[in-house]
Amino acid sequence: MSALDDLIAAGRALVDAGLSPGTTGNVSVRDGDRLLMSGTGTRLGSLTPDDIAILTLDGAIVSGARPSKEVPLHVAMFARNPEHRAVVHVHSPSTVAVSCLEPWAPHTAVPPLTPYSLMRVGQVPLLDFVAPGDRAMGDLITDCPLLFRAALLANHGAVVSGTDAATAVDSTIELEEACRITLLTDGRQRRLIAPEQVAEITTRWGTPWTEIASVS
């Protein structure tokens, strides 16, 4: 499929998974020396070629629909993970809810409760709040000293990158599930995956994780 087809399919998959209600969220795909991005105010489940903005890699508009105000978020994620070809940003219920809580640890808002989020995304830092559309949103991504392929934006939602659009969508779905489990176990005595097992899983799957002292 073309990059355009991949982007349209990704939008539909996010809506089918219940992660993009109404006109929320946006998706972008890298296509050579340009970015294709869902336009502002579009419904991700019913994107057409007319709904897509074409941008340079630094976010300048080339043609097509008016892009989302969160272009800096996408540009920064591609710059951080240059081998990745897709970025997803959603306001899904569980990621938003966890983004409104204090993070589990300095390096990740999501504790190691299941192997699947470790395999898909690894650590998920919580970035400071800035208003949607503020160019400082890109700076938060760029300036974070941690390695990551997914992050929570405080009181806002999630941003995830992947090697292709389908991978970015699958990782976003897994992150939503990890956040849902985080909420279900909040305030209870959790049984976490042991640090040495976390290290083994993330090393095997090539996902980022910062080794820390035990946290409960």
Active site residues: 70, 116
Q: Which residues pair with 151 in a beta bridge?
A: 159
Residues linked to residue 162 through DSSP beta bridges, in sequence order: 86
Strands in 86-90's sheet, in edge-to-edge order, are 61-64, 52-56, 34-38, 26-31, 86-90, 157-162, 150-153, 126-127
Q: How many residues does the chain have?
A: 216
In sign, the C-alpha dihedral spanning 212, 195, 104, 155 is positive
Q: Inter-axis angle of helices 136-143 and 71-80, to 10 degrees?
A: 20
